[in-house]
Amino acid sequence: MKQVGKADLLIKNMVKKMIKLSQTKKYVLTALATSVLTACGGSSNNNEPMQPNTAPTHGGGIVASFAEKDAFKVIHLLGTPEGNSSGTGVAVDADGDILRIVNVQTNLDDMTGFEMTGPRLGVRPLAIAPNLDSGQTLVLEVQYEITDGQASVNRTATISIEGEDFAPEFEANVSEVLSKFADITTVDLLFGVEDKDEEPLNVSEVAIPSDAPAGLFSLEGSLLTIDVPSVADSIEIGDSLTFDITYFVQDHNNSLPRTMTIDIRGVRIEPVPPIVNGPQTAETNTSGERVSIALTSEPAIVDENGDALSVDFATLVPRGDEPAFSFGESDIDQSVVVFDPMIFAPHLDDGERKSFIYDYEVTDGEFIVPATVEINITDDGSEQSLTNGNFEAGMDGWSSLANGVNVASGASGTIAVEGSNYLDFATPDTVRTNLGELEEGAVYVIEGRIGHTDPWGGATIITVFGDAPDEDGVVQSDAILTQVQAYGHGVPDRTWSAIFEATSNAYLTVEGEQAIDMDDFRLYKVDFDQANNLLSESNSTFDNGIGDWVLGGDGEHIADGIGGTGSLYSGGAGDARHILPLGNGVIKNGKRYLITMDVHRESDDGAHTFRVSVLDANEPSNETALVGNAFRGVYWLRQTQQSFAAVLEPARYSSVTDWDTRDISLHIGTNVWGQGNRYTVDNIRLIELP
């Protein structure tokens, strides 16, 4: 029988008393039990030593970074190294003891934006943002101990707030137009100002013209009050008072100038129609930059009621036989017509200056009046955006990947040289040139002549790269904008063309897979307004059927084609040829033409041979060709979805001198080698080049 010691009896008696007391006061049980166990040190028969205490551990210091616009977040000082409340690296105690933090020290005196509550640190970046500029960083370092009551371990939390500062953005010159009959008016000098930092803004150094009548202007903060009635009697109908108010727009770190023009006009109260004093005019040339013409601007058009004027663009029509352009780039809401001057080039002779007049209607909401715009354009060719495309300046602007090329002069064995020099590929190589600052979104054509030593041998790959979004919308550098597989198909000397929509950082590479010569590379912008398309809209878009096309093989019209509209579909038949009669007078000797179309193919394997030829319609068997025929008219399609382009040069590749008198036809062929692929063709355009 187990011997009970005196200590055991003492514990039993004490426990009985504690149980009785616990019926009314449970906390006494805990206190007494703790006292007894502490005093007695446990049973006299249990002589095992107490386990040693284990210090807390953690996964390392906490590091967190914020941008000044980030939302409020809590950093858990007992949490992971990222400051999260749970996960790998949280502070733990092997004994299961409760942990807390003590002896907290920070490196900052001003804790604005940081909120410490026990083991939690709240970070509020927006409270810190006004004190940080771009390139500045605020770093809070919190040093503390994690303790279980007996042992402790050191830890550091480092919190970084990255600052950014943006200058206010606004139009530098703004205006406020008022009627002489207006009441006292207040305008905000900060109107239209945006600040990405959302910092407080103000104006400074506001300068009111010294010739402004006393009492006309008063300023409170950024609000400018204009006492129009005080000067109304001095303004006659048709006259105006104009004052330029200059000032600076400021945030905490930037101060930028701005001018607000106050224009008080002597307008009429009784409704009167707008007055047209003359045509809106523009003077430009075919190689010039994009032109914008405000169709309602003064002094050509004046509204004495001060009403807002607008133009119905459906009324903008050519006078006489002027080209009926769509002016698709125009800002209709602002009544501004926009165009690239090059669209007029086909309607001008070399060096000619000509006026093109268009009529339109202007309305003030009540009255409608006729008006005109006169566009004066001089033909000076097209803008050439490629530097040293003829190699007359050696390799200037070009680089070679394998150093297998050299600039040669004199006669070439494969092409007729333009000028003195050409580029000779002694061995397979790739050359590159940057395309410069192109107008993003505009359509460009790159063309050049390549002579293959073996016209049945390896092809030359022409590629334009640039910055373009991928399928997820993320902009990727070095994306392929267009790619052409220049295969001689038995003809050494051919002109090759590629069409693409310009992006930033565009560049061209030419990869020769065999010994080649290249020369006369050009880069120019094109516009495809239907008014310049030598093909009718029905023969170009297929939206309403097949038009005048005569389809061969198993060609047919499909309603749901490229872009979801009608297209020409060419099936698997071998050497299918689709023919469009063009009549005579379409092509003229001495001119250059561009033919383009969208071509989608269903498969991405094998050779994709494609035919484009313009032939004498009355001699199809002899294939008297403006461009094309059995050899020169065959192309390899490189991309599954491709914008095809070919330059037609009657003077270079044809000895015929009377093309304008001949009936001609356009031939498009698929599966020239009988491969059995399927194609969809749409948006065929034939335009005269400047």
Q: Could you report the per-residue pLDDT of 323-355, keeping only the tens digit for each? A: 999 998 899 999 999 999 989 998 998 899 999
Share of the chain above pLDDT 90, in %: 58
The residue written with tokens 């009936």 in the block is: 663
The residue written with tokens 């093109």 in the block is: 356
User: What is the value of pTM for the model shown?
Assistant: 0.63
Instruction: Check residue 442 and give its pLDDT.
Output: 87
Peptide bond into 299 cis (omega under 30): yes
- Residue 606: pLDDT band (50, 70, 90) is low
- Residue 633: pLDDT band (50, 70, 90) is confident
Instruction: Check residue 253 and give its pLDDT.
Output: 82
CA dihedral for 564, 569, 572, 577, sign (positive or negative): negative
User: What's the rounded Cα separation, in Å, for the pair 321 and 631?
Assistant: 40
Could you tell me which of 608, 564, 599, 573 has the C-alpha nearest to residue 683? 599
What are 292-326's pLDDT values in tens digits? Answer: 999 999 999 998 888 899 999 999 999 988 899 99
Residues whose CB is less than 8 angstroms from the CB of residue 360 and which lie 6 or more positions away in sequence, other chains included: 295, 311, 312, 313, 315, 316, 317, 370, 371, 372, 373
Instruction: Check residue 145 and give its pLDDT.
Output: 96
Instruction: Please give the DSSP secondary-structure letter assigned to residue 504.
Output: T
* Beta strand segments in 527-640, E: 556-558, 567-570, 576-583, 592-601, 609-616, 625-627, 634-636
Could you tell me which of 546, 509, 503, 528 has the C-alpha nearest to residue 596? 528
Instruction: Check residue 625 and give its pLDDT.
Output: 64
Could you tell me which of 684, 480, 526, 501 has the C-alpha nearest to residue 598? 684
Mean predicted lDDT score pLDDT of the chain: 87
- Residue 43: pLDDT band (50, 70, 90) is very low
Instruction: Check residue 1 and give its pLDDT.
Output: 39
Are 503 and 515 in contact, with CB atoms under 8 Å apart? no
Could you tell me which of 156, 73, 59, 148 has the C-alpha nearest to residue 114? 73
User: What's the rounded Cα separation, in Å, for the pair 515 and 113?
Assistant: 68
Are 379 and 352 in contact, with CB atoms under 8 Å apart? yes
Instruction: Check residue 22 and give its pLDDT.
Output: 41
Instruction: Check residue 165 and give its pLDDT.
Output: 78
For the purposes of burial, counting CB atoms within 10 Å of the CB of 660, is it exposed (0-12), middle (13-18) or buried (19 or more)?
middle
User: What's the rounded Cα separation, in Å, for the pair 142 and 675?
Assistant: 73
User: What's the rounded Cα separation, in Å, for the pair 652 and 244?
Assistant: 60
CA dihedral for 182, 227, 191, 299, sign (positive or negative): positive
User: What's the rounded Cα separation, in Å, for the pair 45 and 161?
Assistant: 61
- Residue 628: pLDDT band (50, 70, 90) is low
The top-scoring range by mean pLDDT among 44-48, 51-55, 370-374, 636-640 is 370-374
Report CA 246 to chain centroid distance, whole Å: 34
- Residue 507: pLDDT band (50, 70, 90) is very high
- Residue 621: pLDDT band (50, 70, 90) is low
Are 520 and 389 in contact, with CB atoms under 8 Å apart? yes
Point out the least confidently predicted range of 31-40, 179-188, 314-323, 622-631: 31-40
Q: What is the mean pLDDT of residues 155-163?
A: 95
And the tokens for 488? 């001689």
Instruction: Check residue 614 and give its pLDDT.
Output: 86
Q: What is the mean pLDDT of residues 386-397?
A: 93
* Gyration radius from the chain CA atoms: 41
* Beta strand segments in 54-113, E: 62-67, 73-76, 100-106
Instruction: Please give the DSSP secondary-structure letter assigned to residue 340.
Output: -
User: What's the rounded Cα separation, in Å, for the pair 653 and 592?
Assistant: 11
Instruction: Check residue 41 and give its pLDDT.
Output: 40
What are 2-31's pLDDT values in tens digits? Answer: 444 444 444 444 444 444 444 433 333 333
Are 159 and 139 in contact, with CB atoms under 8 Å apart? yes
Instruction: Please give the DSSP secondary-structure letter assigned to residue 370.
Output: E
Point out the least confidently predicted range of 65-69, 266-270, 332-336: 266-270
Separation in Å, CA 377 to CA 213, 350, 357, 404: 46, 12, 11, 45
User: What's the rounded Cα separation, in Å, for the pair 443 and 463?
Assistant: 15
Instruction: Check residue 25 and give its pLDDT.
Output: 37
Strand order in the sheet with 185-188: 185-188, 223-226, 217-220
What are 532-585's pLDDT values in tens digits? Answer: 999 999 999 999 999 999 999 889 999 989 988 899 999 888 888 899 999 998
- Residue 393: pLDDT band (50, 70, 90) is very high
What are 416-440's pLDDT values in tens digits? Answer: 898 999 999 999 999 999 998 888 8
φ/ψ (deg, to 5) at 386: -105, 130
For 181-235, what is the HEC assignment?
A: CCCCEEEECCCCCECCCCCCCEEEEEECCCCCCCCCEEEECCEEEECHHHCHHHC
Separation in Å, CA 532 to CA 220, 323, 343, 546: 57, 8, 7, 21
- In DSSP terms, 429 is beta-bridged to 512
Strand order in the sheet with 100-106: 62-67, 152-162, 137-147, 100-106
* Helices 26-40 and 6-22, packing angle to 10 deg: 170
Three-class SS of residue 310? strand
Instruction: Check residue 198 and give its pLDDT.
Output: 77
Count how many residues are written for the chain.
Answer: 690
User: What's the rounded Cα separation, in Å, for the pair 206 and 258?
Assistant: 10
And the tokens for 377? 């354009």
